[in-house]
Amino acid sequence: MKRLIILVVLLAALAAGCTSKANINQASNADLKILEKNLQAAFAKTGQDIKVQVSELKNLKDTLPGFSFAEIKIYNKDNLVNTERVITNGQYFAKDIIDSNTLSSLKDELEFEFAKVETIDTTNLTLAGGNKNSKNVIVEITDFQCPYCKKANSLFKSELKGKSDYALYMVHLPLDMHPNAPIMAQVFEAGMQMGFNFKNDLFESDYIKIIEAKLAELQKSGVQMNQETVTKIVNDVNNQIISDFAAKTDNPDKFKELVNSDEIKAKIEGTKKLAEKLNIDATPAFYINGKAISGYNEGLILKALNNIK
């Protein structure tokens, strides 16, 4: 609630700081003292004991002459209560600037550039690609039936082709809306234990269509749909998934046993707990060399992968 109040006051400060005559291109550098002064004056009108501190993170002279990427810190009785990053020339500020050519977000790129680098413990994660001794570490939080996870896998497959200076680790976060995602994560882990990397095959499969086809067939034949019927179909398709991938191994019986083992299930639960610890509850998400990317943000992913050889 406090954060909402701060944001509302920030928006009010924006209105208070605007003039009818825009003169945004005259100065070569953003005057952050003006922004700080205007915001401080706006807060003063509320009667709150607020202090505003504005600092420059990056001069955007090469992208937006006269503008900076700035950080606004707001203190209430000397306690930091909110931090906002904006694009500003001092008189005006904006939460984001969108490139009309690429529809990419300048704010996203700047936030990624200045993002805190997290240390992800990969000790118990499965290496799905690359070289574990590489200095470039990619942690992929994913769900094999998530459409955007599929797109991300296709992008990684294309961009990392022929490269070896990376280590890609899997964190499984099968979502409730994707009925076969848990068993697919188990299939992946079982395959890796036996020396078979089914990552691309799993992402490129479409077992949801099989479920939909089975449901449509039953409805057409007049079968009453209920949760028990749907659960049976999901279980049938799960068994089909296991059989399909078992057939790709050199020991189908061992694979089937391993897929449903407590060891593999515990591995999946461990990765889900890691995602929870990272405050991630949606897929896809990535940590590339410790910097977080939420969702399928192709521009940021490409930017992050740019230096991998």
Q: Is residue 119 part of a domain?
A: no
pLDDT class of 27 with cuts at 50, 70, 90: low
State the average pLDDT over residues 91-103: 92
pLDDT higher than threshold 50 for residue 1: no
Say if residue 150 is in the same domain as residue 290.
Answer: yes
44-75 per-position pLDDT tens digit:
999 888 999 999 999 999 989 999 999 999 99
Say if residue 201 is in the same domain as residue 271.
Answer: yes
Say if residue 285 is in the same domain as residue 144.
Answer: yes
Q: Is residue 120 part of a domain?
A: no
Say if residue 6 is in the same domain as residue 151.
Answer: no
Say if residue 99 is in the same domain as residue 220.
Answer: no
pLDDT higher than threshold 70 for residue 265: yes
Q: What is the pLDDT of residue 21?
A: 41
Say if residue 297 is in the same domain as residue 179.
Answer: yes
Number of domains in the chain: 2
* Residue where a domain stops, chosen among 57, 83, 113: 113
Say if residue 182 is in the same domain as residue 258.
Answer: yes
Give 160 or 10, the one with higher predicted confidence.
Answer: 160
Q: Is residue 229 part of a domain?
A: yes
The three-state DSSP-derived secondary structure of the chain is CHHHHHHHHHHHHHHHHCCCCCCCCCCCCCCHHHHHHHHHHHHHCCCCCEEEEEEEEEECCCCCCCCEEEEEEEEECCEEEEEEEEEECCCCEECCCECCCCCCEHHHHHHHHCCCCCCCCCCCCEEEEECCCCCCEEEEEECCCCHHHHHHHHHHHHHCCCCCCCEEEEEECCCCCCCCHHHHHHHHHHHHHCCCCCHHHHHHCCHHHHHHHHHHHHHHCCCCCCHHHHHHHHHHHHHHHHHHHHCCCCCHHHHHHHHCCHHHHHHHHHHHHHHHHCCCCCCCEEEECCEEEECCCHHHHHHHHCCCC
Q: Is residue 118 part of a domain?
A: no
Q: What is the pLDDT of residue 12?
A: 45
177-203 per-position pLDDT tens digit:
999 999 999 999 999 999 999 999 999
Q: What is the pLDDT of residue 309?
A: 86
**Average confidence score pLDDT of the chain:** 91
Q: What is the pLDDT of residue 224?
A: 84
Q: Which domain holds residue 67?
A: 2-113
* Residue where a domain stops, chosen among 113, 145, 176: 113
